[in-house]
Amino acid sequence: MKRECRLIKAFGKNEVGLADMPNKISGIKVSRIVIGEDTGCSWCFPHGYETYNSHYANYQRSWKKQRKTKWK
């Protein structure tokens, strides 16, 4: 796995020498540890200002979200 040293720093080593990760851990936690600081801030990592899916870039509205408030 790339960037294994960051996971070892966060979780410690096991007897084999790999990262001693817990049995149940979410993928977003792993990605925050592995590539969170490279994108700027690990807390706002998945939807930060620099990402392509941030809400600053999604100003285009879809009609599907407005169906319940349609004028009749």
| Closest C-alpha among 52, 27, 41 to residue 7 | 27
Count the domains in the chain. 1
E strands, 1-72, in order = none
Give me the pLDDT at residue 33, please: 78
How does pLDDT run across 10-68, given as a tens digit for each residue?
A: 888 999 988 888 888 888 788 777 877 676 666 666 555 555 555 555 566 677 766 77
pTM for the model stands at: 0.50
Q: Domain range holding 38?
A: 4-56
* Residue 72 placed within a domain: no
* Residue 70 placed within a domain: no
* Residue 23 placed within a domain: yes
Give me the pLDDT at residue 72, please: 62
* Residue 69 placed within a domain: no
